[in-house]
Structures are given as C-alpha cells and as structure tokens.
Structure 1
Amino acid sequence: MLLSICLRGLLLLLVGKHAYSQEQCLKGSVNTCDDCIKSGPGCAWCTDLNFTKTGEQETVRCNTVIELKDKGCKGIKDPMNKLKKIEDKPLTDGVKPVQIQPQNIELNLRPGKPYTFQLEFKQAEGYPVDLYYLMDLSYSMKDDLENVKNLGIVLLEELKRITGNARIGFGSFVDKTLLPFTDTNEAKLQRPCPDKNVACQPAFGFQHVLSLTSDGNKFKEMVAKQDISGNLDPPEGSLDAIMQAAVCVDEIGWGNSTRLLVVATDDGFHMAGDGKLAAILEPNQETCQLVNQKYSKSNIWDYPSVGQIARKLEEKNIQPIFAVTKNMESVYTELSKLIPKSAVGVLSADSNNVVKIIVEAYNKLSSKVIMAHDSVPNSISVKFRSNCVGGEKLTDSGICENVNIKQKVVFDVTVTAEKCMENQTFFIGPLGFNEKLRVTVSTQCKCECDDPREDHPHCKNNGKVVCGSCKCNTGFLGQNCECELGKKNEETLRAQCRKDNATLECEGKGECVCGRCQCHLTQGNSQYYGEFCQCDDEHCEQSNSKQCAGHGRCRCGKCDCFDGYEGTACDCPKSDEACKKDGTVCYGRGKCVCNECQCQRSYRPLFCKECPTCQRPCEQSGSCVECLAFGSGPLEKNCSASCTHLTVNVVDKLLKSDCRAKDKEGCWMSFTMTEQEGFDKYTVNVLKTIECPEGPNIAAIVGGSLAGVALIGLLILLTVKACLYASDLKEWRRFEKDRKQERFAGSNPLFKDATTTVQNPVFSGDS
C-alpha cells in the first residue's frame, strides 16, 4: 500500500510539473502585482526595477515564469498553494474511533490553481449501528406486522454479531387522512380496516413508536401493541415518514453511529405535488413536526420530493434500506439510484426474511465507501480520485467498492478556487458516517513584496516602489512618476486614454494616469483591464447558474473554455460522436457544436444529410456527364479540369433514373446523381444506352398532306351547302307562318283576275 501511495504521489508530481510547464498567462491590461496574480494561475510578476522600457505598460511584468525568465527577470513573485493541518489525529479503533485523517485543514489557494491533498478513511471495527424500522401499516401489510412483532431480538443479535454495538427503533406510517387518500367518513377514520373482526387503529400519517434502544424485549413489547390501519389508494405516505424519521434526530435518538433506516412496504409512494389532490398547497418544510409522537403537519404540508429526501438523508448520514415486495422492486430500485448509499431487498409474502434482507443490505452498504462534500460556493470545485480499481479518474464523488472492515482507503482530493473570495468552509466525508474533514479555503490575491517605505530614486523621489513598479505621490504621474499634474501636455496625455476619440477617459472605468489607463475594481472586486479598461471577467454567459458553466474562465466578456468543453458558455462537452453518421461529421455540410450539427445552406439536422429544397443539377451537369461517360461533347478537351465535382460510372442498367440530359447529337442520356460528403459533389451512374429519336417518313408525310388537303376542301363545300340549305329552310318556315296568320275572308281584294265578264241588261235570258 505504501509503495502504491508513493508511486501515485510521484505520478501526481510529474503530471503537475508537466501541467505547470504548459500553463499560460491569459491577462488583460494589469497595473499591479495584485492584478497579475488574480489574472490566472499561470501568471507571475516581475519585481525587477528596470524590467519595463520607457513608455511600456506595466502589463509586461505579468507573464508566465518561463517567459519572465527568458526576458531576464530575476525577482519573480509567483504565490503557491499552501496547506496547513489544524487537526491530524491518526486512524484508531476503540470507544472514540477516528475513521478519517486529517480532520481539519486550511487551504490558501491561488485562484484557478488546483491543489491536491490526500484524505484517508478506515472503518473502525465494532462501529455502532442504529437501525430504525419504519413499517407500512396499511391493511395489506397485516401478515407482515405479525412477523415484525417477533423481529427485535433476532435482528439485534444479528447486528451485534457483526458490529458488537447496535440499537433498534420503530415507527409506522399509512397516509394523509384526507380524500382521496383516506376515507374521511368519521366512522372510517376511526376504523379504516375492511374486516370488522381485525384489531384496527384509527387512520394516521406517520407515528413514532419507539426511540432507538439496545433492549430487544422493549422493541418486542412496543411493536406488539401496534395494530394494522388502512387507507384508500395504493400509494402510501412513505416519503412523509422518511422525512420525519430523518429530521427528528433527537426524538428518534440517532447517535454517532452507522444510521440505517429500514422502510418496509408493499406499495409505491406519493411525492411532491400529489397533495394538490387534497387541496394541500404548502410545500414540505423539511423540519421535525412530531406532536405526541405523531406527524402534526401531515394534512397541512405536501409530500416531500425525492430530491428533498435524498438531500436530507445525505445531510443526516442516514442510509435507507427499502424492504419491498417483488412487484415493487423495480420502483424502489429506480428510487435507490437517486439516493446515494441506499439498498433494495425483496420481502417474502409475510416478511419472514426481513432480517436476512437487512443483514445483506448492511454488508453491501458497509463495503461501499462514497466520499463526498457538502454544498460549496460556485467559485469552489472539489474533485475526488481514489486508489481503488476504477477510481483513477477525477469525479465529483470518490467511490470505493468491496472495502473490508479495517481496510484503509486513500482519496486524492483536488480543490480549486476559481476567483478571489472571503474565507469559505465546507466539509468532506464518507456518506453514512458522521465524521467529516473540515476544510477552510482562503485565496491568495495580494502580493507580499519586501519594499522600502520611503520615496525611491527609481520613482524620481516622487513615489515609492511597490513590487518593482512605482506608486506615485499625489500630483505626480507616469511610469517613473515623471509627470506632474498641471503641465501643458496634460490634455495630450489624456487624449491617449480615450478610445476612438470618445469623450470618456478609460471608458469611465479607470483613471488616466500620464497617458495610460489605471483601471478601477469591478463590483465583484476584480479588475477592469485592457488598454482602455474595456474588459472585465464578470459578465460572461452563464449556464446552470454558473459563469461559463464552471468549465471555463471569463476573459473580457467571453468564455475561454477548459480543455474538453466548448460553446459560448462552455456548457458543452467537446465531442462529435452524436454528429457522426456513416463515418463523417455532419456529412461535411455543417459544424458540430455542442455535439449537434449546425447545418449550412438548406440542409437539415440531425446530420445535414438531406436538403428537401435543393435541386439536383441534372441539366447543368449534362456536358460533364457526356464527356466523362462517352468522351464527347463541348467539354471534351477540358473535361478533367471542368468536371472535378463529378465521379461518373457507366452502367448497363439503372433501377431508377432521376436525371435526363441531351448530348450534342440531341440524344437523351439517363443517369442518377447521388450527393457525396460536402457540397456540390456527386456520384453519377450513367446508363450505357443512349436514346436517340428516329428520322422522318417522307412518303407518309407527303401522302398524308395531300389527303389532308382534299379532306379539308370537301369539308368546306359540305359546310357551305349546309348553310344555304338552312337559310332557305328558315325563309320557307317564316312564309308558312305568315300565311297562317292572314285576317282577310275570301280572296284578296287587291288581286285582279285576268278575265272580265260583261252582262247585257236588256237581255234577261228568257226566251
């Protein structure tokens, strides 16, 4: 083990040295040593008096150690991280065991520079165990209750055999006593069980029955007095009960021990939001509310969320064991994934295997060590690496599995302070144990230089030397305090502090000192920088409530991402796996940003493969297809140079032909065009056979023309004849109509007969 630790230490040293050699100083316009070391972990400050040239900004004093040495600097200020152990007791067993080492440290860190220290853990032999048995007393658990009544002595004996020191307690739960969770009929509230012959207690939410005790007979006595109860819907108020069992530390009697919470149930659970069904709108407040051993806010507060439960169990170092029936195993397995240091066991039909479940779960939980930290400010990050198999990578929590009692586990803890801040304290420790390492973090944001207190000749005796540069007395300005206010060149010097002839000097964020901007502090107590104080490192895009998502540094309003991250807020792991398809990234038609294709032109995600609005250049490609496939056409002499965007294959058969184009003879070429990776590149399959139109039939054309002329003449004659006949017929019919409408009687008076008859009046005709 010692050899392993030494090797790991050597590896860390080598890695650290390599990382240091690769550090960069990404600075803005800095004026002092304090500004420089705040700029980044790779920045150092040169304190040599004559390091800067005349008129040169003090910024040049701030650079990497290597760069400063290369420029001949002798005095370099490069504050390093420091660790001070306040309490460092060795790991021991016994009445007051020590299971983590060290116990209290102080870290003085350079902003942005990680510091790694070792934290050791060894579970003490005989470490006490507190087990609180939380049982579902809904009516379906009637048979299980009878077995639990005889559980206490056996369970205590098993736990004492393992640890030598164990206590056990008991609590029970059903559900909120409101509709639709419980029948609110007064008689039903007093006796919710469906079987009238069964002893039944009134409906309730959660009740604490027995505080933790080492007396198994007391457990048996108190549990024997418990009766079954009932409710309406299948899900129970499990989360209400778990929350109260966790936060009521004094009432339950939790001690400095391994804390186990056994939850025995045969159904699912209500969670936050379900209370609205009963008009309960007030969220769970995560505080102990036991009155006369019962949960008094059951019908006032909503159920807690799973997140609240997970956070509170971790805070109180309680490890839950869900003893559930087979049909609920998958539900509680998913719940267990959200709660660190938890286990799931399957109950038999009457819970007679519960002791076995608890012992197996305890052994499983004890063999898994999870090192984690409590909440820290956004400006502090904590990572873990263990000496266990699979624990070599830096993660948010260190995990070691299959750890035996008295086996020492070593964790490398890396702490990074991203910016200057006041002292911050947090705790690190193994989940499920009360012992924690107290870590107090302070930051090194000021240079400590051994400077004379009197005015210095280097500053023309008009100022003092501070870390190599001059701090001028009132009324004097300049690199060496050579400028005196009130001189004629003051306006010229001030103009040099205005960007693009602006009216504000140093953009209102600094003072113009002898023609150069000396920048103010920002509201966050960092420094404006840049030639005109135009930059600051506090206004970058945020993600997950963190500037640059915690995966980069803010540089002049833009995120400078760490290796492995990208995006405007450094919120995307650098990867192109989700952008790959058929071995290409976005088919060469877009960029992979945040592991998603950002397509160009009119191509569509996910992979920029298809463009519904794009047209294949069939006609435009006809000349290239002709010269590449058949060696002819207008591009015949310049084919290879003009048609590099096409790859042409001549085939005997095409399954489909989506393009047609004419060659120089007017024949049709049939081909398909398949777009290649990138833009405007195609693979073309050309049908070997060209379709040419047949020549004209002269005889048919002439014969057909004469016949057509004769036919047209005949049609014209028939048409004229028909028109004349129709006109005559129309006149005849009108004449006949007029005759029928005559109004004269007898003959027409206008008509005169051609023969005249004269009669002799003398002659009467008588003889």
Structure 2
Amino acid sequence: MLYCNCRMAVKLLCLCLLLALLFPSWAKKQTCLTSASNCNECIQSGPECAWCTAPHTNTPCHTLRGLQRAGCPKSHIYNPQGRVQVVRNDSSTEPADAQALLLQPQELSLRLRPGVSQSFPLTITMPTDQPITEMIMDTSPVPAGLNITFGSIMKGNPLVIQVKVEAAQCPSESDDSNQNRTGPWSVHVTPKGFSQSVKLEISLECQCDCMRNCEENSPACFGRGTLVCGQCDYTTQHCRGELDSFSSPGDDRCRSGPNAPVCSGKGKCVEDFCECDKRVNPKERYSGQYCECSNFDCPYHNNRICGGHGSCECGQCICDDDWTHDDCSCSMETASCMATNQQLCNGRGMCQCGKCRCEPPYTGPTCEFCPSCVGVCHLHAECVECLAFGTGAKKNRCETECSHLTVTMVETRDDMPEPGETTVHCKMMSREDSCFMNYSFSQTPSGGQSTVVQAKDCSPALWQ
C-alpha cells in the first residue's frame, strides 16, 4: 500500500511539472495585490494589474484577463498603459542648412506606467559634410529607476533611431526624500558631438484618475458611504479636501475658486456638489469636480473629433500611438515615405505626417522623381523597350531587371498623359533598329508607370 501511494505521488508530481512546462502561464505566480483596498495600491502592485470600477465587485484588483473573466465591463476596467505625445515637431520650409543637424521631433511628453515601456522614432538628419557613422546618444541626468535605451531602425542620412523609455517601479509612499516623486522630469537626449537635443517631459502613472472623483453618501453605498473608484468606503471623508477651505456655505462649495462660476456654468450645485448638465447627445458629457471638463470640446479634423485618432479628455485630444498634433491629424509612421532605395523621402526631403516634403526640383510621393534632372528618360529606356517591344539590351533580362516598371500601350502621342510635376515625356532611340520610342514616365510608390506609343518613329526627324 505504501508502495502504491508513493507511485501515485510521483505521478502527480510529474504531471504538475509537465503542466508547468507546457503551460508556463499556469505556473506563473499571481503578482496582483487582489487584497488592495484602493485603485492606487492595485496598479502599483504590478504592470499587469487592473482595477474594476464597477460597484460591488468582489475582487476589483486583478489582471485584465482576470477582471474580464469575472464579468467586469470593459468600460469599467482601469488599466493605464502610458502614452507618448509629440509636443513640438518643427521643420524648416527652406532647404536644410548643409551645416546644421536636424532632430525630429524636438519635444515629447511621456506618461509611463512602471514596467510598461514607451518608444518613439527619432529622425536625425546629418550635416552634408559629416561622415555617416554610428550615432552615440547622450542623456542629461535621469531619475533613479528610469531607463532610456537606443536602437537603430534605419541607417544612412537621415538616420532613424528607436528611443525606448521605461520606469522600474512607483516610488514608495513613505519616501519623502524627493517631493517630485512621480515627475514631471525634463530629460534631454543629445547626439554626441552636437548641441541640439530632444526634450522629454516624463511623468509616472502611479495614481488612478478615478481617485480624484468621489461621491459621498452614494446610493451605491446605501447612502452611508463614499463611492471611490467603484468601491464603498464607510470610514473616511474623501470628497471634502479643498472644498472645506471655502468659508462660504451653499454654492461656494461648487466653485473652483472664489470668483469662479458655479459648476463652471455647466451644471447646478446640489447639496454642495456639482451635478453636471446633460447633453442632447448622450455620448457627450461634462465631467470633473466642477463640471470643468468635457469629452467633446476638442479640435476636429476631417469632420471627426481628434481626427478619429484619439480621445477627447477635458477639452484636449489624447492621440493614439503614432499620431500627433492638437487634432491628432499627423501620422508619425514613416513607411509611406520610404523610397525604393530604403531611404526616407529618397534623402531629398522630410517625412512629415506620413508624407514627403521634397526639396526642389525633386517631386513625387517619395521624392524620387525629378523631371528636370538629366537622365530620367535614359534611365528607363531599356526597360521600356524590352517590356513594350521585346527588343533591346535587356530583352533577355526583362523580367528580372524591369519588374519595377508598368507599361501601357497607346496608339498615338496624343493619348499619352500630359507632362507635369510627376510625368515627363521621352523620345529615345532604339539601338536595335535606330527608330525612336515615344513614351511618358511617371514615378509611383512601387517604381514607375510608362505609357508607350505602340508604333516606333523611324523617320529621321526628331520629336520637337
């Protein structure tokens, strides 16, 4: 009997080890403080911890997946992840000074949830006489627990560097050695050997926004407790704070200052608390202790609030990742600016809001087209000939060397597109039969488009 029990114990131990190996997430120790008494304690206990603001939740502190499994509505889950917002991204409209270093963007605001990194691309345009080498980045003094690292995305000029910022943990509540425990801190990132720098305004997300709003004698707490972040507290007064500093009774408790309008003019004072006005559109609302905030009074772009790429919080657009400007209309992605030579805007312009601003005389979506530059017609003549007529020097290599070019045949020169900013007309001689080919060339993101007259011009006269 003892032998059988031992064998069974060994089997169970092996099964547990096998499950731990196959499903490591099962074996991972739960780090969220499920016994947290408030939202602040919860989010500070680990980067994966979230808080449920729905009233009467038995375990409001858990992982995001844990709260979802427990039935907490998505709109009631508080799970800050931080954000990056571009504050300043200036660029000259004139051709860049050959001796100047250009950094883009120049200033950013970062909110960090400890344990959750934030990153952004930094574009560095080097002076033309500067040899292109590995760039070393220096930073001004960084607060303890804050880590900034750099990784190269694209070499060349301009150089694109990925900047990653991460905070280790929230400071202890008992640590009063530094009053500025959660920021904001100003950190400057400077390419070694240059004076220009990028300013980072960094602050930590260690406090829950919902802790600022509370409801005393809340019906959700049977009229006897204070509702804070969805949980009832029957022991302390949370909501008075600064309001008790006003000596006047009544409406004065509903003013943000001695001479401020009651409830910011957007609500009414009921029992010393602001009840914000309702909007005709139920999705629009006023909020805040004095109804000072709204989720609709923000800039619009393309008839969409915050351009459809952010949320309106207290009259200010909070842009989604990779979007910036006060109306979130500017994309920070650079893929649409990448030329066929894998340089941003072909090294002939600046990528702004996902579009190239080309230096004259270069044009086109990626600054690869130059109608006035010598050699455009000659550069594509052999591919046009082999694709359109099956002749010429590249006729045996046409598929491999000319796949970037698309050819359309037309009957006469009048059927070709009009020449313009991105289209040029060409007349090139074929060495094979000494006849002239008439065609147009237009630069496209995938390479080029050529419209070719189907009959060659074999007369000795040149096309005037």
- Structure in which a larger fraction of residues adopt helix: 1
TM superposition score normalised by structure 1: 0.24
Greater RCO, CA 8 A, separation 6+: 1
- Structure in which a larger fraction of residues adopt strand: 2
TM superposition score normalised by structure 2: 0.39
